[in-house]
A and B are shown apart, each in its own frame.
Chain A
């Protein structure tokens, strides 16, 4: 197996642009890796061998011509199957979209293509991004490269797994309540949810419009920043996109200096309910941060305990409306159209057959929450909680520069362990959800393995809106120390996968 697959994205980009290695070789090495291990990992729903080699070849032509290349030209990437790709299947992990080929590219995809990033294929996910384990994919679960019997997190388990299984150095995820950060935490990779509005949502199939945000996944802080800089920026096609300069995340990732910074530990995100090994690694990180010259203080966010409940009203409400279009009339699978049934019957059968149980559960929940007579008590009340959460963050950021917490309460659990207990599943996102509710940027950074199970633990870093660069500065500072301590990337400790 080529050693190209273990290289960082920034290193690969350098090799390609200098002409030392062709982008086609890089793409082929990763396609070979996918062929070797993805039968066991199942990170990909669709591998676009032809398209990947063609876009790699196009980069090589530019290298030969001496054209200026973007920072990640020729670097392969796994794309979460929730972003529309012109000419490539986009299923959202759902049978209802099986066979659908979008006629257009998401803005993020356009930016990736323009940057010469090589899209290897579409990665697995919980159906319509509803879940924290990727077990809710209609096409079967993804397995955690650290232990194939465990979940890779969710909803973007395919993206985190492909990065941590060395199938791609980069991936794009989307994060509505933690779907980039929690998978990053349980797979020992880095994931960032940018500020809401920082990355265009055009072409991102909506789960909950006011919470969704696409972001970068990689194996280190700098690569994550490079990918962040490629996909971020104002887009007139997305009305909620922010029209102001992208924070300088690359410089911040190169800087990594937190001396004199104030770091807040969120009191409500930790302690009881958090696995012992998660807590101990988190406490070590706090000590490390202090040793780097930052001041750490405890901050209370009293509304956070209500965040999960409010989230599970807002998300299903928006989702129930966003998912109404999947009726088999204009695109995707149509079920039951035998010429004898009414259009309502065909829509109904299409939806009943096309959606999995978690999607149906949330559509019903959201439909109920928006119903006349219940709206104020549920959706309206949840919006008030959302305002309180924002106020908690505002108050906290008046005192500190960034906030930290464990990303997830536990390390990766066993496939099937929580499948029949939705509430237990929802609790995986208890620490990440408040960030989405307030539209803030958040990072998950690997900080070691839990002693009791030798599985990765993630640190969550939260910054104020449009201060995404702070995440990278803090992340880079901690990462530098940990790499020195570990003698290399934590993913070097993961077991080698069979077939490789």
Chain B
């Protein structure tokens, strides 16, 4: 049942929101955190398992070094300190999706701590930067996945039986936890969203995760509390789980502000609990109550050695970090002379890196952007390909542009050449040759085609001569059709007007 809420503006006028965000990122390592099993998503249930990730008696974990490296790189990209020495711990609790009935995680010794991430949002006073303080980023293993069969809700209550798939068990996770985020005022929802978006961009730039919120490789929990004034002590918080899209992050914060405000104003207290976010209805519902007394009996994992990343290694990783996505974006906007809206189109197409590569191969930024956000995005979409998997290299685009500027290809032919590339018909020159793609530059065949078009529609010549030049379009179109697009449309128009004795 929906709870009472208060109008957002009113709520914000009465209370000061304090945010906290916990983000779980599934790392894109080929193998799991403590065994050699594959991490590929979507395999048949319980096929990516072994004695280690099933927690069979006697099996022991062996640490995935790439997992540790990714954790350090994430820490560095979030301006964190990297621990000189840290350990894994066991978080003990019984649940069937956890093979060992403890989760191997980090507790009081995270690999990265004390960082921050600056995010920009639009405010009434223009664009403004908020600094989100980061408490820690730590390594842990994912659990398996339960599905509850039968019953109406898909929840465990009322189900006929439950199935567990352990393919996900042991996949490396990094949990990134902010400190309480204060001072956002009414912009709390926007800051939350901008933080998760910026984090996603950084993780994507690092290449450590595919950060697909819809597939659960990036999962967000939103903590929120209200206090009367920025000077008051922190209020009781709620923890909203399953907030799995950027839009939901913003909405969940907004909803919780209005819900807390209504309760507090009515004199009710906030229950410290986990809440479930419902994407469809845009509200959260109460989950299980959570108390600080919940006891996971953490202790250092005796089956793993402490991790002591050498300073040389950390510095090596720091030096090799990619440019911060926000900084890079600002640089490219300036270099390429784009508007923020153009840049959004580029980023949303997922082709930013591809465009950057094409530009550094010598393709004009405008052209590279046009092909990747236009024709190549369409081809990817039609063929169900990820944009990164479209087999067009920067060199291909460069050659294509050369042929266009020399007049050997026009726009339409160039698109056909790209189709050929994606279909694996060879390189650009081979395709142009094999498909016979060449602009017809000899006037003879064009004049013949014009004559034919005029003969087919005797009235049109008079119309054009009478000054209605727009009517020329149908003749040019007929000629282009007859030449299978290989004519230069401008030249056809020119020849037509010459023939009819009309000047433009």
Contact = CB atoms under 8 A, between A and B. Distances in A.
Interface of A: 83-84, 90, 92, 97, 100, 102-104, 106, 201-206, 208-210, 236-240, 317-318, 320-321, 324-327, 329-331, 343-344, 347, 367, 370-372, 375, 379
Given A209-B302, A343-B96, A321 B60 contact: no
B333 interface: no
B35 to A, nearest CB: 9
Interface string B46-89: 00000100111111111100000000000000000000000000
A198 to B, nearest CB: 15
Interface string B289-306: 000010101110011110
A239 B102 contact: no
30 contacts: A83-B58, A90-B57, A100-B57, A104-B59, A208-B302, A209-B302, A210-B302, A237-B62, A238-B62, A239-B61, A239-B303, A240-B305, A320-B92, A320-B297, A321-B102, A321-B299, A324-B92, A324-B94, A325-B101, A326-B57, A327-B94, A327-B96, A330-B56, A331-B57, A343-B156, A343-B162, A347-B94, A370-B297, A371-B297, A379-B299
**Chain B interface, DSSP helix/strand/loop, else mixed:** loop
A237 B92 contact: no
| Most A C-beta atoms less than 10 A away, residue of B92, B302, B305 | B302
Given A83-B58, A84-B57, A370 B94 contact: no
B131 interface: no
Contacts of A238: 60, 62
A330 B58 contact: no
Interface string B88-107: 00101010100111100000
Given A100-B57, A206-B303, A347-B94, 14 more contacts: A83-B58, A92-B57, A97-B57, A102-B57, A104-B56, A203-B58, A236-B62, A239-B61, A320-B297, A324-B94, A329-B96, A330-B55, A331-B56, A375-B299
A204 B56 CA distance: 11
Contacts of A240: 302-305
List 10 A-B pairs, minimum CB-CB distance, nearest first. Answer: A324-B101, A370-B297, A209-B302, A210-B302, A203-B58, A84-B58, A205-B57, A205-B58, A372-B295, A325-B100
Most buried by B among A204, A238, A239: A239
A90 B58 CA distance: 10
A401 B298 CA distance: 39
A372 B299 CA distance: 11
Contact of A367 (B51, B162, B297): B297
A439 B470 CA distance: 93
A91 B91 CA distance: 26
A372 B295 CA distance: 6
Interface string B171-202: 00000000000000000000000000000000
Nearest to A201: B60
A393 B54 CA distance: 39
A370 B60 contact: no
A92 B57 CA distance: 10
B397 to A, nearest CB: 45
B299 A370 contact: yes
A325 B56 CA distance: 8
Nearest to A96: B57
A240 B302 CA distance: 8
B439 to A, nearest CB: 63
A208 B56 CA distance: 16
Contacts of A106: 58
B60 A103 contact: no
B223 to A, nearest CB: 21
Contact of B63 (A201, A208, A209, A239): A239
Interface string B213-244: 00000000000000000000000000000000
Contacts of A97: 57
Contacts of B156: 343
Contact of B94 (A204, A317, A330, A344): A344
A26 B250 CA distance: 75
A206 B101 contact: no
A236 B64 CA distance: 12
A4 B358 CA distance: 79
Contacts of B90: 321
Contact of A203 (B54, B59, B99, B100): B59
Contact of B305 (A239, A318, A367): A239
Contacts of B298: 370
Nearest to A84: B58
A377 B92 CA distance: 19
Contacts of A330: 54-56, 99
Give the most central of B96, B99, B293, B303: most A CB within 10 Å. B303
Contacts of A347: 94, 96
A205 B58 CA distance: 4
A90 B51 CA distance: 14
A103 B56 contact: yes
Nearest to B303: A209
Contacts of B295: 371-372
Contacts of B101: 324-325, 327
A237 B96 contact: no
A208 B298 CA distance: 15
A370 B297 CA distance: 5
A277 B59 CA distance: 43
B100 A324 contact: yes
Among A204, A209, A325, A379, max chain B CB count under 10 A is at A325
Contacts of A202: 58-60
A149 to B, nearest CB: 33
Most chain A CB neighbours (cut-off 10 Å) among B58, B156, B304: B58
Contacts of A317: 299
Given A318-B302, A327-B94, A375-B299, A204 B58 contact: yes
A201 B61 CA distance: 11
Nearest to B144: A330
A372 B293 contact: yes
Contacts of B96: 327, 329, 343, 347
Contact of B297 (A84, A104, A321, A329): A321
Contacts of B94: 324, 327, 344, 347
A346 B205 CA distance: 46
Nearest to B94: A347
Contacts of A326: 57
Contacts of A206: 57-58, 303
Q: Could you say which of B60, B92, B94, B303 has the most chain A C-beta atoms within 10 Å of its C-beta?
A: B60
A487 B115 CA distance: 74
Contacts of B51: 84, 102-104
Contacts of B162: 343
Contacts of B58: 83-84, 90, 102, 106, 202-206
A237 B302 CA distance: 14
Interface in B24-62: 51, 54-62
B34 to A, nearest CB: 9
A108 to B, nearest CB: 10
Given A240-B305, A343-B162, A370 B57 contact: no
A201 B99 CA distance: 19
A201 B304 CA distance: 12
Interface centre among B62, B63, B156, B298 (most CB of A within 10 A): B62
A331 B100 CA distance: 12
